[in-house]
Structure 1
């Protein structure tokens, strides 16, 4: 690996959240999908069933530049204690996936109504979370992450009720909200926790790549609401996120979100639009998505171009002067979706959105939606390293589409076992290049992962450590670089055909659930009828 390429890879690693870094690519990259593979159209819309969420009570608008403190919303009527009909989520699922609406009757449901201030920097909302205790022990409280605090913003929560009864919640524990329950919630019992919240969004690109920010007239709303923690073998998992990597570890849930915002911006949100109205200078759109690990929303002056792959409509949103980048992102996403549908099993949703924001990452994944940074959409330019932004955009987009399988369909603890989504996504992106351009081109691309590992001199640091245990460049070099090398070695060890069958089975068995390293290894051993202990000991496990 030459010194200039190592320097390039280091630069890219510092810029990305998912770190979907590009590499040397095929010398001839197709500029359009194969005939018959993708049908394209401009600005298509579908008629979908409607859903109604009661409006938030009106309140005065605080000054937005800068707001002196988080503004408390006025009290609103308690939300209904009955969850919405799950039929509303069918619009966002392909036909073969709709059975999941009955298969996960106890999955949490978020019913949310938010108002985005005309400044686009203040969000007021009310949410009710319908939660069923799936554990074998009674619960005396529920915990919610307040990620907006972690991300440099402010979030205040008021008027918390449990089944209509007011409770005093505690938000003094790190960046968490503890909601006490009036009586212990028995195994199998359900409850409805309602609350009002106000989130003040940072107006600069700050911690964790600016995933929550209003900057350059684009609003990126990641993790802006109180988000349920996961109850796992450790109890309530309330680990605080590291400055590197992803923030969230979440169970699959359903989200019904009504968004009221200024009418002069285009909204892009996770899921299908199930209701939409405009009155004067205000628009209200309701999104339904689920199962899903999160809900994401962006707002800005975007144009859209669309394509269809199977039952899925892909929408690519970008400023109108970046239409060439939007078209390339659409083309790559369609090719990646086609590859993944055939190799790993069907994408679950009827929609996949791509939107560009000023994030300092190259790309970031959310359920049914991927984000790419604005700077790589000017595809006629090259980066400071001399690499084409078109090549960077392809690598990043393909990587983020792969995350729809590894992070969303199959969940994992992204803080303690990040390799289970990032290493698998990196390896699977290599397979995208093989599917689209052939093995020689894919081998050329794969050199990038070995180059990443070379950033730490090829040190044999375990792939399976928590994010917080990696120092500086180690996280990118090991989880993305060495992790992909390990998975290719695993493929070689058990054979590609067996490896692909194992991954399909892994996705099917843990679809909408959370997988861990032990389960991953056990299923691989079942498929190969072999002992993979020495291989995992050498590459994955900490001593």
Structure 2
């Protein structure tokens, strides 16, 4: 997720003339050293509506060689008199040009691949196979003609990867959480060869516990089929994580989802509404989704095909693995543009009439995907989508998918670069390396926040990154300390409130990573994060995993930094 109150971009309508001065700021990228201010980026005016010209101007400024083969977050407490606004960020966005594209991705031979591997780039198949057995979902779902009811059936094959037997399985019903405020009902639960299974719903309706006919032994598998329906709400408040608003339908966690299992048992707690609700193990997915034909469907994974279902309806066949979630968005009247970056197809979806901002979102997403692939390790999926949706000035991350608040397309376009960079970073710090958003929210949010420093430095230069550091993190944290909005970053989300959460899990956590970087240097800092991704890709980590790896890879004593910034 991401919060608002970000420094302005130089590409706003009212940014005015931007004078570029010669500088020796350089970025090493794909073996080439680029002077971001001097090479190819000398425009004297940066009008936000001139994105085609901007794309041409910066065609190769940050075009790396191709690889081989927020959720409900409140904005920072507004210390308006204290916040230093970043002015005059310089240099055009350096990217390959984009092109208009309509339809859904099909081809490249992915239809011939096993469904679970179709969503992955070639290099990522080997680490995927090394994961061992994963939960596997087969989902059939249909949206009613009026869009008010979603009904479906999900069969989940669950492997027991523990050393002890499991007497039950637990599923999360995310639509019933206060974050989504919808209503999901499960009408039947059955297993192969065993018939109906006893099950019990928690008092708040978010946890379904299924009793197995016999304990699931270590190494064994059980397939459970659940029939479900969701009453899909329609909202008008300008911030909708789940349901309809402004002809956009958001459906994260729309199916009964297997809970995370650890030594402590099944994870069943729901974070407060200002924290991320989804906490899932990665899994394999096959989805057949039928909906009115006037809707464009955007989803995690890849779409293998679309067929006419008759009576003004179409059926979408979507697959993916390993995905931490399979999220759907649907919209009417969307346009799309696409590009390629870091071996993936990047697609931006946006409402008609928002082409300049929609293309800007594509340019920033492609640039961030390239840069983060260099800094943190390669992006594993074949596609990455950026979608404008009714989230106000906020954003939300899903696997292979970033949702950006429509207000950032207009009127708050100056905030678009930061939000897109933040949500793109979550493809490493959430989709790949997962953590408990209730117990340790700072792990992914702090890293995604501070990834914007890498982005601003790589695209705009060091001065812009330093201005971001001051205006977005240092000044708010100082304000919080002065006004009693402080505490340990390592606290669980339910021990924070909607004021301390963004200051601690986002801003102060970002300052920890900044201090770590300053202590060990850029090279060791990025080497540490690359090792972190390699070691824990598609797993769930705790702070001990990260801090232990920092000690060994960066060869530094991290304890003083932990004491100063996290405790």
Common fold by TM > 0.5: yes
Residues 399 and 144 of structure 1: is their aligned pair in 2 closer, same or farther, counting only changes over 3 Å? Answer: same
Shift of 1:436: 0.8
Shift of 1:28: 4.8
Shift of 1:529: 2.7
From 142, 154, 159, give the equivalent of 1:115: 142
From 186, 191, 194, give the equivalent of 1:157: 186
Counterpart in the other structure of 2:476: 452
Shift of 1:273: 0.7
Is 1:277 the equivalent of 2:304?
no
Counterpart in the other structure of 1:47: 107
Counterpart in the other structure of 1:339: 371
The range that moved more, 249-258 or 19-28, is 19-28
Counterpart in the other structure of 1:287: 318
Shift of 1:317: 0.6
From 428, 447, 455, give the equivalent of 1:405: 428
The answer to whether the Cα contact below 8 Å between 1:205 and 1:213 also exists between their aligned partners in 2 is no
1:420-460: per-residue Cα shift (whole Å, max 9, x none)?
10001111111110111111110011121113313423565
The answer to whether the Cα contact below 8 Å between 1:23 and 1:445 also exists between their aligned partners in 2 is no
Residues 88 and 229 of structure 1: is their aligned pair in 2 closer, same or farther, counting only changes over 3 Å? Answer: same
Shift of 1:118: 1.4
The answer to whether the Cα contact below 8 Å between 2:260 and 2:267 also exists between their aligned partners in 1 is yes
2-structure distance, mates of 1:41, 1:24:
34
The RMSD of aligned alpha carbons is 2.4
Counterpart in the other structure of 2:505: 479
The answer to whether the Cα contact below 8 Å between 1:86 and 1:101 also exists between their aligned partners in 2 is no
2-structure distance, mates of 1:50, 1:406:
26
Residues 374 and 33 of structure 1: is their aligned pair in 2 closer, same or farther, counting only changes over 3 Å? Answer: same
Shift of 1:178: 0.5
Counterpart in the other structure of 1:251: 281
Counterpart in the other structure of 1:215: 245
Residues 104 and 476 of structure 1: is their aligned pair in 2 closer, same or farther, counting only changes over 3 Å? Answer: same
The answer to whether the Cα contact below 8 Å between 1:109 and 1:131 also exists between their aligned partners in 2 is yes
1-structure distance, mates of 2:401, 2:175:
20
1:179-235: per-residue Cα shift (whole Å, max 9, x none)?
11000001111110111100112212679x521111122111111111111111321
Matches within 5 A, 1:389-538: 389-447=412-470, 448-457=472-481, 460-538=486-564
Please list every run of 5 or more consecutive structure 2 residues that lacks an aligned counterpart in the other structure: 8-69, 77-82
2-structure distance, mates of 1:225, 1:520:
31
Q: TM-score, normalised by structure 2?
A: 0.81
Is 1:238 the equivalent of 2:268?
yes
Residues 455 and 168 of structure 1: is their aligned pair in 2 closer, same or farther, counting only changes over 3 Å? Answer: farther
Is 1:309 the equivalent of 2:341?
yes
Q: Partner of 1:260: helix, strand, or coil?
A: strand
Residues 26 and 273 of structure 1: is their aligned pair in 2 closer, same or farther, counting only changes over 3 Å? Answer: farther
Is 1:227 the equivalent of 2:287?
no
Residues 50 and 194 of structure 1: is their aligned pair in 2 closer, same or farther, counting only changes over 3 Å? Answer: farther
Counterpart in the other structure of 1:186: 217
Shift of 1:29: 4.9
Is 1:106 the equivalent of 2:106?
no
Shift of 1:120: 1.6
The range that moved more, 287-296 or 450-459, is 450-459
2-structure distance, mates of 1:236, 1:205:
35
2-structure distance, mates of 1:468, 1:391:
32
The answer to whether the Cα contact below 8 Å between 2:276 and 2:437 also exists between their aligned partners in 1 is yes
Shift of 1:16: 7.3
Counterpart in the other structure of 1:60: none
1:224-250: per-residue Cα shift (whole Å, max 9, x none)?
111111111321111122111100221
Counterpart in the other structure of 1:177: 208
2-structure distance, mates of 1:137, 1:535:
38
The range that moved more, 217-226 or 169-178, is 169-178
The answer to whether the Cα contact below 8 Å between 1:274 and 1:286 also exists between their aligned partners in 2 is yes
1:357-383: per-residue Cα shift (whole Å, max 9, x none)?
1124511000000101112212xx3xx
The answer to whether the Cα contact below 8 Å between 2:395 and 2:403 also exists between their aligned partners in 1 is yes
Residues 9 and 442 of structure 1: is their aligned pair in 2 closer, same or farther, counting only changes over 3 Å? Answer: closer
Q: Partner of 2:114: helix, strand, or coil?
A: helix
Q: Partner of 2:275: helix, strand, or coil?
A: coil
The answer to whether the Cα contact below 8 Å between 1:9 and 1:452 also exists between their aligned partners in 2 is no
Residues 465 and 38 of structure 1: is their aligned pair in 2 closer, same or farther, counting only changes over 3 Å? Answer: farther
1-structure distance, mates of 2:446, 2:219:
35
1-structure distance, mates of 2:372, 2:418:
15
Q: Partner of 1:248: helix, strand, or coil?
A: coil
Shift of 1:122: 1.2
Q: Partner of 2:199: helix, strand, or coil?
A: coil
2-structure distance, mates of 1:249, 1:500:
26
Q: TM-score, normalised by structure 1?
A: 0.85
Counterpart in the other structure of 2:404: 372
Residues 454 and 213 of structure 1: is their aligned pair in 2 closer, same or farther, counting only changes over 3 Å? Answer: farther
Shift of 1:479: 1.1
The answer to whether the Cα contact below 8 Å between 1:251 and 1:513 also exists between their aligned partners in 2 is yes
Q: Partner of 1:170: helix, strand, or coil?
A: strand
Shift of 1:323: 1.3
The answer to whether the Cα contact below 8 Å between 2:392 and 2:408 also exists between their aligned partners in 1 is no
From 350, 358, 361, give the equivalent of 2:390: 358
Shift of 1:17: 3.5
Q: Partner of 1:370: helix, strand, or coil?
A: strand
Q: Partner of 2:271: helix, strand, or coil?
A: coil
Is 1:128 the equivalent of 2:155?
yes
The answer to whether the Cα contact below 8 Å between 1:241 and 1:247 also exists between their aligned partners in 2 is yes
